[in-house]
């Protein structure tokens, strides 16, 4: 089966487009002024048609103002510009004058305020691509990341300055790399990765570079730009800023159009469709479809703007990153439990607020991390049909499909937001299926899943919250039973692998004792309290919440039946 096994490539692969100055992201950056003007014009037009009269627009400005003032008061961030209060106070006083419809100053209008707010937002959102910064990052990142793929832990310092190339060869990547590379020259690629750690965006950016793909643009949390060093690089490596606190219509419109037009201009993009990192540790099942919808929109606009055969195509590629352990696991699972415990107010997580914290985080990651795996799913069109080497779409019946027809009614290309929203929804479902199907099960996950499920069965009369509060000293399972159960789950996983329902790491073919050892070694590397513990002929844990977190990754496969 194509794409299901590790392919031995000699990473990094040569760039599919040699000249960096020919990369879409470079061209976009060169043409920044015109690009931003286009985004603004488009956002303005859409907002003006949604709020068609002066009165409606004025009321919407009031709403934006209201939401922004709440944000300023309740959730200030370090990354916010210094003059944020000033700016919004200025808007407020203008709005108050505007509200006196019969007595407003000469020249002041709703449109003017709309322009001012859009300029402000776009100025913040816009990202850049700087060839020199890129060259620097490209030289430095392999030193960091090459290490991660080296098999044995603890050798990081030896790696620096060592032979980077041999490390490249070890990247366990599954997926149809050749197809993705080829299609990147024919159309625009949208990579949609799972999201477990703050390392994901840097990791995936580096990986795509290893695959020889032109640099991708992606939306990074504005909070990350509060960190000097990170901000310096991200803002020069094609990242644009996304502020998840701003949920007002003007901001969302500007952000969506930014993404849509970047895609239209051919900029390969990364969307994290889960929105934020998975709190529970489970694979995403519900996606935030906002940015994903811009892929559908951009494809439709291509069909509108180009004659039939020439319309550029947009290809969506799910990507599953699998770490043996997630550095933020403890904080994430605590958030999750608070959330499900119906705690009303969730603090906006801002754990890397300073460069020092970030560097510490990176160092931990690099010095402690063990092997991980990355897999790419099916290459799809924007409606979720599979795409072949040449970019042709085929539906689930294997019929060749003309994608344009999805946007046609009675022979005419029609605009229909609700319809496109449903297409985005369908695409989202396909992505979630891919996340499960191309997820590579690691030894640590198998062991955590089985042990926690056995505990759930043992303590069947208590709910999950009580179980998680059980003193860890009381937790103990006979080792033999654990071995037997893991063996059953493992066999089931192998069957599922044969059916194409999941991927498994090579270590999962070992005998169970070795699997448990391998899993424990990898997962306990980082955490100060071990999720998995072996005491002679019993197994236990020092941290039930972490055990629960890692167990969650294998939810949704129906494996519980094997316990």
Partner 1 sequence: MNEGKTVGVIGAGSFGAAISNLLGENQKVLLYDRKKEAVDAMNRDRKLKGYALHPNVTATNSIEEITSNCYLIFPVVPSQSFKEMIIDFSPFLRPDHLMIHATKGLHCDFDLDTADPKDLKLKDIKTMSELILQETGIVRVGCMAGPNLAAEIMDKQPAATVIASRFDEVVREGQAALRSERFQVYGNRDILGIELAGVLKNYVAIASGALNGLGYGENTKALLITRGMAEMVYIGKSLGADKRSFLGIAGIGDLIATCSSPKSRNFTVGYRIAKGDDLKTILSELGEVAEGIRTLKIGKLIVEHTGAVAPLLQTIHKVLFEGLELERAVKLLMRYYVDADGEYLDN
Tell me how far apart the alpha carbons of residues 393 and 413 are, in angstroms, rounded to a whole number.
19
383 touches partner 1 (CB under 8 A)? yes
- Closest by CA to 420, choosing from 439, 403, 399, is 403
401 touches partner 1 (CB under 8 A)? yes
Q: Which is nearer to partner 1, 363 or 408 (CB)?
A: 408
Cα dihedral 174/176/182/184 (nearest 10): -60
| CB 266 within 8 Å of CB 216 | no
Which of 163, 399, 528, 535 touches partner 1 (CB under 8 A)? Answer: 399
86 touches partner 1 (CB under 8 A)? no
| CB 192 within 8 Å of CB 319 | yes
Q: C-beta of 411: minimal distance to partner 1 in Å?
A: 7
SS3 state of residue 544: helix
- Where does this chain touch partner 1 (CB under 8 A) — which range of 127-135, 406-414, 487-495, 504-512? 406-414
- Where does this chain touch partner 1 (CB under 8 A) — which range of 76-84, 111-119, 253-261, 400-408? 400-408
Per-residue DSSP letter, 7: -
Q: Which is nearer to partner 1, 402 or 560 (CB)?
A: 402
- Where does this chain touch partner 1 (CB under 8 A) — which range of 250-258, 330-338, 402-410, 513-521? 402-410
SS3 state of residue 317: strand
Q: Which is nearer to partner 1, 414 or 514 (CB)?
A: 414
499 touches partner 1 (CB under 8 A)? no
| CB 467 within 8 Å of CB 459 | yes
405 touches partner 1 (CB under 8 A)? yes
Q: Which is nearer to partner 1, 107 or 398 (CB)?
A: 398
- Paired strand residues for 375: 174, 320
Q: C-beta of 291: minimal distance to partner 1 in Å?
A: 21
411 touches partner 1 (CB under 8 A)? yes
Contacting residues for 121 by C-beta, under 8 A, at least 6 apart: 246, 250, 251, 254, 255
Which tokens sit at 145?
């990341």
Q: Which is nearer to partner 1, 388 or 422 (CB)?
A: 422
Which tokens sit at 425?
């929804």
- Where does this chain touch partner 1 (CB under 8 A) — which range of 10-18, 133-141, 345-353, 397-405? 397-405
- Where does this chain touch partner 1 (CB under 8 A) — which range of 260-268, 317-325, 401-409, 458-466? 401-409
Could you report how far apart the first and last alpha carbons of the chain are, in Å? 30
402 touches partner 1 (CB under 8 A)? yes
359 touches partner 1 (CB under 8 A)? no
Q: What's the 3-state SS for 185-230?
A: HHCEEEEEECCCCCCHHHHHHHHHHHCCCCCCEEEEEHHHHHCHHH
Tell me how far apart the alpha carbons of residues 342 and 64 are, in angstroms, rounded to a whole number.
28
Contacting residues for 169 by C-beta, under 8 A, at least 6 apart: 8, 9, 10, 11
Neighbours of 444 (CB within 10 A): 29
308 touches partner 1 (CB under 8 A)? no
Site string for partner 1, 415-444 (x = CB under 8 A): -x-xx--xx--x------------------
Q: Which is nearer to partner 1, 359 or 426 (CB)?
A: 426
Which tokens sit at 130?
């700087």
Tell me how far apart the alpha carbons of residues 217 and 526 are, in angstroms, rounded to a whole number.
31
Site string for partner 1, 266-285 (x = CB under 8 A): --------------------
376 touches partner 1 (CB under 8 A)? no
Q: Which is nearer to partner 1, 383 or 448 (CB)?
A: 383
Q: C-beta of 430: minimal distance to partner 1 in Å?
A: 12
33 touches partner 1 (CB under 8 A)? no
Q: Which is nearer to partner 1, 20 or 401 (CB)?
A: 401
Tell me how far apart the alpha carbons of residues 382 and 354 are, in angstroms, rounded to a whole number.
38
- Closest by CA to 108, choosing from 117, 120, 96, is 96
48 touches partner 1 (CB under 8 A)? no
Q: Which is nearer to partner 1, 325 or 406 (CB)?
A: 406
389 touches partner 1 (CB under 8 A)? no
Tell me how far apart the alpha carbons of residues 55 and 40 are, in angstroms, rounded to a whole number.
21
Q: C-beta of 483: minimal distance to partner 1 in Å?
A: 31
164 touches partner 1 (CB under 8 A)? no
Q: C-beta of 385: minimal distance to partner 1 in Å?
A: 9
Which of 101, 152, 310, 397 touches partner 1 (CB under 8 A)? Answer: 397
Q: Which is nearer to partner 1, 398 or 471 (CB)?
A: 398
Which of 408, 462, 464, 495 touches partner 1 (CB under 8 A)? Answer: 408
Q: Which helix (H) or strand (E) holds 412?
A: strand 412-413
| CB 357 within 8 Å of CB 158 | no
21 touches partner 1 (CB under 8 A)? no
For the stretch 117-145, what's the b/e string if a residue is b when 16 or more beta carbons lie within 10 angstroms of its beta carbon? Answer: bbebbbebbbbbbbeebbeebeeebbbbb
Q: C-beta of 428: minimal distance to partner 1 in Å?
A: 13
Rg (CA), the chain: 25
Q: Which is nearer to partner 1, 158 or 561 (CB)?
A: 561
Q: C-beta of 396: minimal distance to partner 1 in Å?
A: 8
Q: Which is nearer to partner 1, 389 or 402 (CB)?
A: 402
The residues that touch partner 1, with contacts defined as CB under 8 A, are 383, 395-397, 399, 401-403, 405-406, 408-411, 414, 416, 418-419, 422-423, 426
């Amino acid at each position: 089966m194509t794409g299901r096994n590790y392919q031995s490539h000699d990473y990094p692969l040569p760039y599919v487009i040699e000249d960096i100055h020919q990369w879409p992201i470079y061209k976009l950056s060169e043409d920044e002024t015109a690009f931003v003007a286009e985004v603004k014009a488009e956002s303005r037009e859409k907002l003006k048609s949604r709020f068609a009269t002066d009165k409606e627009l004025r009321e919407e400005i009031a709403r934006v103002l209201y939401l922004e003032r709440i944000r300023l008061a309740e959730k200030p961030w370090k990354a916010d510009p210094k003059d944020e209060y000033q700016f919004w106070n200025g808007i407020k006083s203008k709005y108050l004058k505007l509200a006196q419809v019969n007595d407003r100053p000469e020249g002041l209008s709703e449109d003017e305020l709309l322009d001012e707010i859009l300029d402000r937002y776009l100025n913040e959102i816009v990202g850049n691509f700087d060839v020199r910064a890129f060259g620097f990052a490209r030289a430095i990142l392999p030193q960091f990341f090459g290490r991660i793929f080296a098999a044995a832990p603890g050798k990081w310092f030896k790696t620096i300055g060592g032979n980077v190339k041999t490390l490249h060869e070890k990247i366990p990547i599954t997926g149809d790399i050749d197809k993705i590379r080829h299609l990147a020259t024919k159309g625009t690629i949208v990579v949609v990765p799972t999201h477990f750690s703050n390392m994901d965006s840097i990791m995936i950016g580096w990986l795509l570079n290893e695959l020889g793909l032109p640099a991708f643009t992606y939306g990074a949390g504005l909070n990350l730009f509060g960190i000097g060093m990170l901000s310096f690089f991200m803002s020069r490596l094609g990242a644009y800023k996304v502020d998840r606190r701003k949920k007002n219509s003007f901001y969302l419109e500007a952000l969506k159009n930014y993404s849509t037009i970047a895609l239209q201009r051919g900029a390969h993009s990364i969307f994290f469709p889960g929105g934020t990192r998975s709190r529970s540790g489970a694979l995403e099942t519900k996606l935030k479809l906002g940015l994903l919808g811009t892929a559908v929109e951009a494809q439709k606009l291509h069909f509108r703007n180009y004659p039939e055969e020439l319309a550029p195509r947009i290809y969506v590629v799910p990507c599953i990153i699998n770490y043996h352990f997630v550095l933020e696991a403890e904080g994430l699972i605590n958030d999750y439990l608070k959330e499900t415990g119906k705690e009303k107010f969730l603090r906006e997580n801002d754990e890397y607020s300073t460069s020092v914290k970030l560097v510490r985080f990176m160092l931990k990651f690099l010095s402690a991390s063990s092997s991980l795996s990355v897999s790419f799913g099916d290459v799809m069109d924007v409606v979720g049909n599979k795409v072949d080497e040449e970019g042709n779409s085929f539906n689930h019946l294997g019929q060749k499909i003309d994608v344009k027809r999805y946007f046609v009614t009675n022979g005419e290309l029609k605009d229909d937001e609700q319809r496109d929203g449903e297409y985005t929804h369908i695409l989202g479902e396909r992505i979630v299926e891919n996340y499960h199907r191309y997820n590579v099960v690691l030894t640590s996950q198998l062991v955590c899943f089985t042990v926690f499920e056995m505990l759930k069965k043992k303590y069947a009369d208590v709910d999950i919250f009580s179980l998680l509060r059980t003193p860890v000293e009381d937790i103990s399972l006979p080792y033999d039973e654990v071995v037997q159960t893991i063996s059953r789950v493992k066999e089931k996983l192998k069957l599922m692998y044969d059916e194409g329902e999941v991927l498994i790491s090579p270590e999962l073919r070992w005998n169970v004792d070795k699997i448990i050892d391998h899993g424990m070694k990898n997962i306990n590397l980082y955490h100060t309290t071990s999720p998995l513990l072996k005491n002679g002929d019993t197994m236990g844990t020092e941290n039930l919440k972490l055990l629960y977190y890692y167990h969650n990754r294998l939810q949704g496969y129906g494996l519980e039946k094997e316990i």
